[in-house]
Structures are given as structure tokens and as C-alpha cells.
Amino acid sequence: MKRPVGFGIFEFSVLSGLRAAQLSRGCTPRVDSGIHKLAIVAQMEVAEGKVLRVVPDLAVVLAAVAEAEAELAPV
């Protein structure tokens, strides 16, 4: 299966695995699944660009972590 341009093998594998987990929980496939197993369907979806990767904004993540740490700090 050909990976999309800009995807490394690790990123393709992780994203496909996450999508396969969604499919196993009952999400609707975005490609014709036919007789394929869920892992293959997930790889097909990622390869065809039907599943997008979202890269979180680092500043937002760090702010959320700081807020959570502040809530957990002893008074």
C-alpha cells in the first residue's frame, strides 16, 4: 500500500492504527471495505487521504498542561 506524500512509515502506521481502533468501535468506513479486515480498511482510508492528521498547537498544549498542574498543586 502506498503511503501519502509527506507521511513517514511510523506516522502512517500510527494513524492507521488509531483509525482501525475507531472502526472496531463502530465508526463508518470512508472507503468500500468489501471483505477486508479493519486494519487494511484503515490503511486504505489513510492512503486515500480520507483520514486527516491534526497537529496540535504547541502553545495551546503547554497552556493546558500548566493549567492542569496549577489545579493539582497543593494549597
**C-alpha to C-alpha distance for 36 and 55, rounded to whole angstroms:** 29
**C-alpha to C-alpha distance for 45 and 60, rounded to whole angstroms:** 29
Q: How far is CA 17 from the centre of its chain?
A: 7
Averaged over successive runs of 10 residues, the pLDDT of the chain (75 residues) comes to 88 95 96 94 95 87 90 80
Q: Roughly how many angstroms between the first and final C-alpha of the chain, as a whole number? A: 55
Parse the chain into domains and list their residue ranges.
Answer: 9-72
Predicted TM-score of the model (pTM): 0.73
**pLDDT given for residue 46 in this prediction:** 96
**pLDDT given for residue 4 in this prediction:** 86
**pLDDT given for residue 17 in this prediction:** 96
For the segment(s) 9-72, the CATH number from 3.90.940, 2.60.40, 3.40.640, 3.40.50 is 3.90.940
Torsion, Cα 43 45 46 48, to 10 degrees, reads 120
**pLDDT given for residue 3 in this prediction:** 87
Phi, psi at 59, each rounded to 5°: -65, -40
